[in-house]
Structure 1
């Protein structure tokens, strides 16, 4: 019997701005390495979820929680012969900063980052599935969704133990942040590696080595990833795919379609139709 084709369904919360839920069934699809601007909280429902993140490969069995911090590079594919089923909740940092600060009891905890990627935690799993159910089923009120978010945040903080204020940003990290800021400010322009490394005040060779060591992808892959993320936001705002492709420097709509699908599992038009209906 032939395997069914992979399926992807995206849902936007009606109550919490920019919160998105993905329900996916993967049998013949592998994600390219990429990173999201949001926090991502997932639960493996069936099959096995194999992926690379944090410098190593991971395998997530059914019932396990996966958590990615913003801009944490990862990929993903089914492991073994069974179809991989999972749900993923994407939450923008602005929606979580106050919740993290409140759960930790420290204003500086707004940019909390979990050190765990694979998390076998029933309470966290339950909160994620509750939130996904509210969004995909369009049931419950805003306070129901906010409560599920708070339960997720509280559990992450409990697992992390006592909050330790972040240390001073190192010089290499500060230089790479300049490069990231430059990239984000010039997404609609034709950027060069020379210009990006100059913005970071690094030689091209030193910049390439540091960047790949820090983020696990090349600057070119990072630029492409940022353009895809910006394109997704434009699609959600109703901008037609042809215009989005032109705005963010893709050769043509076909090129945009291929790149977008490697990260979101569907074409820009399909994604736009799924989240704006």
Structure 2
């Protein structure tokens, strides 16, 4: 019997801007190490989900929740020889942090980060699956989806025990954030390591060491990751893949296709068709 190929389906919410749902079945696919700009919440449905993140190797069995903060580097692949089935929500920071603020009764909740990556929590799992169902089946109203998102945020705040909107940023962290800001502002330029390290006011080699130690990927991998994420947004806006590839510095469409597929499981054209139909 031929081995089943992997499948990926993306769905955009009709009610909550930029909210995306992924339904995936992986049998012969491994994600490259990458990070998303959004919060990501997944539920392992079948098989076992193995991945590296936060300096640790994790194994997620069926029924388990996986949570990634924005820009939390991770990879992923099936872990036990069987097909891995899972659902993942990608929630923009502004949307989720508004729900965090409502949950804790304050005006703003920017910077909220969960310290947990693997979570065994039936209430949180139910809220994630309910929101995914509403989006993928295109049922319910905006308030239904917002309520499911609010339930997710409330449960996360409950698990945290108390709300801590942010912590003091060390000088090295602040310098690395300057470098990140420079990268995001120049994604369409031909960036060099010298330029990025100068933006962080660090020597090139000190910068390289600090960056990899802090984020788990090299500056080059981070630039590529940011370009892929920006390309995804352009594809969702209807820009044709050839133009997106040229805009973000890929050698050609074939190179763009390979890089994009290692993170999203399908070619840019396939992704664009799936979320704009």
Cα offset, 1:111, TM superposition:
2.2
| CA deviation profile, 1:35-59 (whole Å, cap 9, x unmatched) | 0010000000000000001111000
Cα contact 1:96–1:110 (8 A) shared by 2:
no
Provide TM-score, normalisation by structure 2: 0.99
Matched, 1:272 2:272: yes
- The equivalent residue for 1:7 is 7
Q: Aligned residue for 2:202?
A: 202
Q: How do 1:231-270 and structure 2 match up within 5 A? A: 231-270=231-270
Map residues 53-132 of structure 1 onto 2, 5 A cutoff: 53-132=53-132
Matching of residues 30-41 of structure 1 within 5 Å: 30-41=30-41
Q: Secondary structure at the match of 2:51?
A: strand
Q: Does structure 1 conserve the Cα–Cα contact (< 8 Å) formed by 2:41 and 2:128? A: yes
Q: Aligned partners of 2:38, 2:108: CA distance in 1, in Å?
A: 19
CA distance in 2, matches of 1:245, 1:129: 34
Equivalent residues of 1:36, 1:71 under 8 A apart: yes
Q: What do the CA deviations read for 1:231-273 (whole angstroms, capped 9, x no partner)?
A: 0000000000000000000000000000000000000000000
- Deviation of residue 96 (structure 1)? 1.4
Identify which range, 80-89 or 166-175, moves more after superposition. Answer: 166-175
Shift of 1:104: 2.1
Match in the other structure for 1:20: 20
Aligned residues: 277
SS at match of 1:110: coil
The CA RMSD over aligned residues, in Å, is 0.8
What residue number does 1:152 align with? 152
Residue aligned with 2:154, SS: helix
Shift of 1:107: 3.9
The alpha-carbon deviation at position 80 of structure 1 amounts to 1.3
Alpha-carbon deviation of 1:97? 1.7
Runs of 4+ residues over 4 Å off in structure 1: none
Change beyond 3 A, Cα 1:165–1:21? closer
**CA deviation vs aligned residue, 1:171-224 (integer Å, no higher than 9, x gap):** 000000000000000000000000000000000011001100110000000000
TM-score, length of structure 1 as denominator length = 0.99
Alignment of 1:141 with 2:128, yes or no, is no
Stretches of structure 2 that go unaligned for 5 or more consecutive residues are none
- Cα distance in 1 for partners of 2:163, 2:151 equals 17
| Distance (whole Å) between structure 1 residues aligned to residue 166 and residue 17 of structure 2 | 28
**C-alpha distance in 2 between matches for 1:2 and 1:104:** 51
